[in-house]
Amino acid sequence: MANQLEQMGAKLKTELFLKGRLRHDLSLEEKRALEDSVVDVVTLKPRTTLVERGERIENSFYIIEGTMMRHLDNQRGERQLVGLNVVGDFVDLHGFPMKRLDHNVASLDRVTLAKVPHKAIAELVDRFPHLARAMWFSTLLDAAMHREWIFRLGRLNAEGRIAHLVSEIIERLKFVGRYDGTNLPVPLLQRDYAEACGITSVHANRSFRNLRERGILDPQGDGKIAILDERALNKLGEFDGDYLYGDGDLALESLDDR
């Protein structure tokens, strides 16, 4: 059984769900039920579309390995990145009640996904109200990040926008133990940063050069970045990770009402 495996230290497909946030508030029975809802494991090659805007969906996908990106395209086919999902995230859990997404979802790098049918999610919601609340919480984290992305686009300059985005990725990876303190393991290219930050690729290139010259980070090609001064990075991006609900004033100890 999944709970027995967890007690023995075996790796579960969904073991990083809400890690660093409220996973500690889930019972072993809830963790087992979530694990048992997985019906298949799917692997995507880099830059592969998982869900297209408007198509009907009957499954949600949880990231075991890799990074997914959300994007909208204008009438000329130009892309705007509107979100990222990392290891431990459900990519499209909000598709459970909505059945269609208003944006596209694609892999950034090679991604391994756990497939969970909406029918299984409906059963989890009925059987485990507390787990349902945790899953609702995870979708609201996406909403909190979207608001922060709006702040970033509206109030920071190009270098600040890039710094804020990198800081957010680092913080999210820390929750799940995927950041080594130096190397950013999310291979966004400079054009991706441009599309996420509302700037041109030329402006992104110039901004990265300035960040390197200031000793904050070092772009190393193919999306690889070495972080040289995380404190300066956070300061430049006006980054306060409270909105991720892990540490700080917004952190929660429990999902229960008091």
DSSP of 149-180, one letter per residue?
Answer: HHHHHHH--HHHHHHHHHHHHHHHHHHTT---
CA dist., res. 204 & res. 226, Å (int): 17
Q: Of 196, 195, 189, 140, nearest to 168 (Cα)?
A: 196
Task: Note whether 95 and 51 are within 8 A (CB).
Answer: yes
Assign a CATH topology to domain 2-148.
Jelly Rolls (2.60.120)
User: Which pLDDT score is estimated for 257?
Assistant: 84
User: Which pLDDT score is estimated for 4?
Assistant: 54
H/E stretch holding 146: helix 129-155
* Axis-axis angle for helices 129-155, 190-197 (nearest 10): 90
User: Which pLDDT score is estimated for 10?
Assistant: 61
Q: Which amino acid is at 82?
A: V
Task: Note whether 16 and 63 are within 8 A (CB).
Answer: no
CA dist., res. 173 & res. 183, Å (int): 11
- The CATH-assigned architecture of domain 157-237 is Orthogonal Bundle (1.10)
Q: pTM of this prediction?
A: 0.94
State the Cα torsion 8-12-15-16 to the nearest 10°.
Answer: 130
User: Which pLDDT score is estimated for 8?
Assistant: 40
Which residues belong to CATH 2.60.120.10 in the chain?
A: 2-148
Listed in sequence order, the residues at least 6 apart from 254 whose beta carbon sits closer than 8 Å to its beta carbon are 22, 25
Which residues belong to CATH 1.10.10.10 in the chain?
A: 157-237
Residues of the chain with pLDDT under 50: 1-2, 8-9
User: Which pLDDT score is estimated for 258?
Assistant: 67
- What's the token pair of residue 44? 């995507």
Residue 211, SS3 per DSSP = helix
Beta bridge partners of 183: 226
Strands (E), 94-149: 104-107, 111-117
Q: Of 49, 103, 43, 38, nearest to 72 (Cα)?
A: 103
